Every structure is written in structure tokens, then in C-alpha cells.
Amino acid sequence: MQGPLRLGGREFAAHEPVIMAIVNRTPDSFYDQGATFRDEPALARVEQAVAEGAAIIDIGGVKAGPGEEVTAQEEARRTVGFVAEVRRRYPDVIISVDTWRHEVGEAVCEAGADLLNDAWGGVDPRLAEVAARHGVGIVCTHAGGVQPRTRPHRIAYEDVMADILRVTVSLAERAVELGVPRESVLIDPGHDFGKNTRHSLEATRRLGEMVGTGWPVLVSLSNKDFVGETLDRPVKERLIGTLATTAVSAWLGARVYRVHEVAETRQVLAMVGAIAGGRAPSVARRGLA
């Protein structure tokens, strides 16, 4: 049974989809290739995302893939001041920070973050302790046990969804035991993280099993490799595949969608919600005149 989701000062009903917009404070991100590394374009990106309907801004200071080493100090330099400025400009927006390090988590929470997006599956167990101490939310992700910023090599599962459920539910329960509010804990299947394309497709197909745990489910699908490999499309040509996967995830009950394209995602979620009967059409003229 899905309950309300509470993040920051906001509460979202059980069937209310939530959009999380990605803002990368990195010079080498796989999709935007550093377009929001500097403050001015990054703040413009936040403004656009909020205007288009994003409730959450997810700020990251280290790209997920391999590359030049980024220390905790450098990650904090890229994110902490920016979090503070976004909080100043947008007091009602939910600020998430994509980090696996407890030191960075501590600093961004002090700067005003509402949510810690731990995409690497609890590799630093102290991050959940930081979330509990500050009373903020946390995303508990399945990453297949791989180390941060490494790619899976011939990874295999007897049952990928069983492993996803085992890991994410365990992390979520630990977070609550530490003191994180239950209604502020999300679980994420971790598409591409510790998975090949077939694993990510199966995780999507069986997403209803995650929803059935009662924990709100976050999906991070945007322009990922499993979409690219499925359709044989480069990074900049994966929007249609991403939106198709978003529609399936919405139908199966995902709650939060971490995306690059906010406006397009919002339309997909509105359409799925209307088909499912959870929202009325925006206008109703046909056949009434």
C-alpha cells in the first residue's frame, strides 16, 4: 500500500507523480557534457526546470562514469555553495544532492538540501546516518555491489529483481531504523548501475514488484545506455526511448522520475495518469458542442 511521500516541506499523494530535474555541476557529464558546470547556466537550468514543473532539483558534483578523480573536497566545492544559492532563490523547491559520500552529504544538508540521492547502493553507510541526523530524505539504490564510478563487467544475477528488492528494502529499513522518516525514504532499481541492458529491461518490466513493497519508487531512466543499446541510438537520440520507458514505469506505479527533459516527461506522466483514471483531461470539448 503506497502512502504519502514527504520531502522538504511538501507532501505528495500516493498516485501523484513527481519530477526530479538533473543539474550536473560537472565538466564531463555524459549527457550535457558540462553545460551546467558554471553557475550561471546551472541557475538558468534550475529556473527552466522549475517553470516546466519539476518539484525536485537533483544536483550532482561527480559524473557517474569513470573519469578524472574528484575528491570529496572538490565535490563539495562544486555543490555546497550552489545548493545554498538554489535554496535562497527557490525556498519551496526540494533540493536533492546526488552523492555517495557522507562528508559531502553533511555539507549539503547544512546548506539546505532536503534529500540525499545515494546512487551507489550504500557504499558509504554513514550517508544514511547523515540523513537521519538532519531529518532529510534518502534514495536507496541497487548498484549491484560495484564501486562508485565503475562499470559492470560480465555481471550476472540468478534473479535481478530479487536482488534489487533484497538490497533496496534492506537499505530503506536501515535508514528508518537510524531515524530517517519512513515517508521520506525512496527505493531505486538503479538502471544501468551494476547491470547490463537486459537486466535494466527486466527491472523495468517487473517494476510493479518494487511498488508492491510499499516504498515509493524512483526511476532514473533519462538517456541511459540501456535505452541506447535497445534502440541502437547515441546519447542525443534517446529521448523517445526514455519517454516510452517512463510511460511503462508510470503505468506500473513509479513515483519519482529523475530526468533531463522536464516538459516532455510531464506530458507523458499526465497522459498516463489520465488513461489510468487518476487525473481528468486538462480540457474537455470534444463531443460537447
As a whole number of angstroms, the distance between CA 248 and CA 204 comes to 8
Catalytic residue list contains 63: no
Which candidate in 258, 266, 279, 285 is catalytic? 258
Radius of gyration of the chain (CA): 18
- pLDDT per residue over 90-142, tens digit each? 999 999 999 999 999 999 999 999 999 999 999 999 999 999 999 999 999 99
From the first residue on, what is the mean pLDDT of each consecutive set of 10 residues in the chain (289 residues)? 92 95 90 85 97 98 93 98 98 98 98 98 98 98 95 95 98 98 98 98 98 98 98 97 98 98 98 96 90
Give me the pLDDT at residue 196, please. Answer: 97
As a whole number of angstroms, the distance between CA 18 and CA 56 comes to 8
Give me the pLDDT at residue 31, please. Answer: 76
Which candidate in 25, 45, 224, 255 is catalytic? 224
Query: What's the full length of the chain, in residues?
Result: 289
As a whole number of angstroms, the distance between CA 139 and CA 156 comes to 24
DSSP letter (8 states) at residue 217: B
As a whole number of angstroms, the distance between CA 273 and CA 10 comes to 21
CATH classification code of 5-276? 3.20.20.20
For residues 118 and 141, the answer to whether their CB atoms sit within 8 Å is yes
Catalytic residue list contains 224: yes
Scored b (16 or more CB within 10 A) or e, 202-227 reads bbbebbebbbeeebbbbbbbbbbbbb
For residues 121 and 143, the answer to whether their CB atoms sit within 8 Å is yes
DSSP letter (8 states) at residue 147: P
